């Protein structure tokens, strides 16, 4: 006989791993958790709080291990995954909660890396093996690890779109004033030849956004809306950031919310593009890697940074027609939150 916990795990896992048609017939998601930046060589006490939240789904938003390497055997990344597998809370979540994952630079293998990384094919195989992708998974046959799922019944469907902002991304423009506020590492580059996603992934994204769903979570390991800092972000390629907004608008997709990681801080953001509903973003980072002294001008930020261990949550109330984006600390306490009515995101259910 299944225990309640086992049954819940089977339902959640099936929702994530089944075919799209079957996933749409699963119960609606109402409690989604996510996070990034988990160093396998440091304590990870936050998993107790994540598990106590009892998410229907957990999204790993990148830097799921720290395994930078520069050799063809990818030995350091292999060791990183081996160590991560021994972390009790991490393993328990992977065993008991349905989950999806995308990488960032440190599980890609190169700090701030992009298209130029010579060993990315080895990284991809290790990533897909660690996350138990079957041999038939399309990601094993194409470049990059971008992915998408639609979970829940009609009228309560959540589409999770996981963007790969590493494999195809053009080199960034190096700052002319390293460490200066707003110019810490990189500068905005208006070069129209530069890309974040590459043409194939851009076309795929436009097609995904036209599929029927009520709420859409676009996961980008690096920040999309954040301004006022010179670390990695979509604003380093402003034409690509605008292309993302234009793609959302042109698709007619309603209910888009952005999730990101990377920065070793947590924060909430909002931007209202022309002729589009407001876009909200939650950055959750890190699960145990924290930039305590972080500063950011943050013209699009809602409230202060949260510079301590955190995980993000998306609480969806389908009947009250609202959702809450929040950051929780390693004790499970809510530290930042914003409530959003479905009508604000043009969600019709």
Predicted structure pTM score = 0.94
| Residues 309, 42 contacting (CB under 8 angstroms) | no
Helix, strand or coil for residue 128? helix
**Would you state the pLDDT for residue 298?**
85
Number of other residues whose CB lies within 10 A of the CB of residue 19: 7
Query: What's the token pair of residue 86?
Result: 């021994």
Residues, the chain: 349
Helices (H), ranges, 4-163: 4-17, 20-23, 47-53, 75-84, 88-96, 105-108, 120-130
Q: Which residue spans within 226-309 are E strands per DSSP? A: 256-260, 267-271, 279-283
pLDDT at 27: 86
* Whole-number Å distance between alpha carbons of 288 and 307: 11
For residue 26, what pLDDT is reported?
Answer: 75
Residue 235: closest CA among 298, 287, 285, 156: 298
Residue 332 pLDDT: 98
CA 201 to chain CA mean position, Å:
16
10-residue averages of pLDDT along the chain (349 residues): 38 43 72 98 98 98 98 98 98 98 98 98 98 97 98 97 98 97 96 98 98 98 96 98 98 98 98 97 98 91 97 98 98 98 93
The count of C-alpha atoms lying within 13 angstroms of the C-alpha of 190, restricted to the half-sphere facing its C-beta, is 0
Q: In sequence order, what are the residues at sequence separation of 6 or more whose Cβ sits closer than 8 angstroms to the Cβ of residue 209?
A: 161, 216, 247, 248, 251, 253, 256
The residue assigned the tokens 């690509």 is: 240
Sign of the CA dihedral running 21, 50, 349, 101: negative
d(CA 190, CA 176): 16
Q: How far is Cα 281 from Cα 269, in angstroms, rounded to an integer?
A: 5
Cα separation, 250 vs 233, in Å, equals 23
The DSSP H or E segment spanning 317 is strand 310-317
């Amino acid at each position: 006989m299944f225990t309640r916990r086992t049954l819940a795990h089977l339902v959640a896992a099936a929702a994530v791993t089944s075919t799209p048609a079957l996933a749409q017939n699963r119960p609606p998601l109402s409690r989604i958790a996510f996070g990034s930046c988990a160093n396998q060589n440091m304590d990870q006490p936050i998993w107790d709080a994540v598990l106590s939240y009892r998410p229907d789904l957990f999204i790993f938003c990148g830097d799921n291990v720290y395994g930078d390497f520069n050799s063809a055997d990818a030995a350091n990344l292999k060791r990183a995954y081996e160590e991560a597998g021994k972390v009790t809370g991490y393993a328990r979540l992977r065993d008991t909660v349905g989950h999806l994952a995308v990488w960032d630079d440190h599980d890609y293998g190169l700090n701030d890396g992009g298209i130029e990384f010579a060993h990315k094919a080895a990284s991809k195989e290790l990533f897909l093996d660690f996350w138990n992708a079957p041999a038939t998974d399309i990601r094993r046959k194409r470049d990059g690890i971008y992915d998408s799922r639609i979970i829940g019944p009609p009228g309560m469907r959540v589409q999770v779109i996981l963007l790969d902002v590493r494999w195809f991304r053009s080199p960034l423009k190096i700052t002319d004033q390293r460490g200066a506020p707003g110019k810490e590492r990189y500068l905005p580059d208006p070069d129209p030849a530069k890309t974040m996603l590459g043409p194939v992934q851009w076309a795929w994204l436009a097609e995904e956004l036209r599929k029927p769903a009520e709420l859409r979570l676009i996961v980008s390991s690096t920040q999309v809306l954040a301004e006022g800092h010179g670390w990695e972000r979509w604003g380093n390629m402003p034409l690509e950031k605008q292309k993302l907004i234009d793609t959302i608008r042109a698709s007619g997709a309603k209910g888009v919310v952005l999730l990101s990681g990377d920065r070793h801080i947590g924060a909430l953001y909002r931007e209202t593009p022309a002729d589009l509903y407001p876009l909200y973003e939650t950055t959750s980072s890190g699960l145990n890697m924290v930039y305590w002294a972080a500063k950011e001008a943050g013209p699009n930020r809602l409230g202060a940074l949260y510079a301590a261990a955190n995980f993000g949550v998306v609480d969806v109330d389908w009947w009250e027609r609202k959702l809450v984006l929040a950051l929780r600390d390693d004790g499970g306490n809510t530290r930042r939150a914003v409530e959003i009515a479905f009508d604000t995101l043009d969600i019709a259910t």
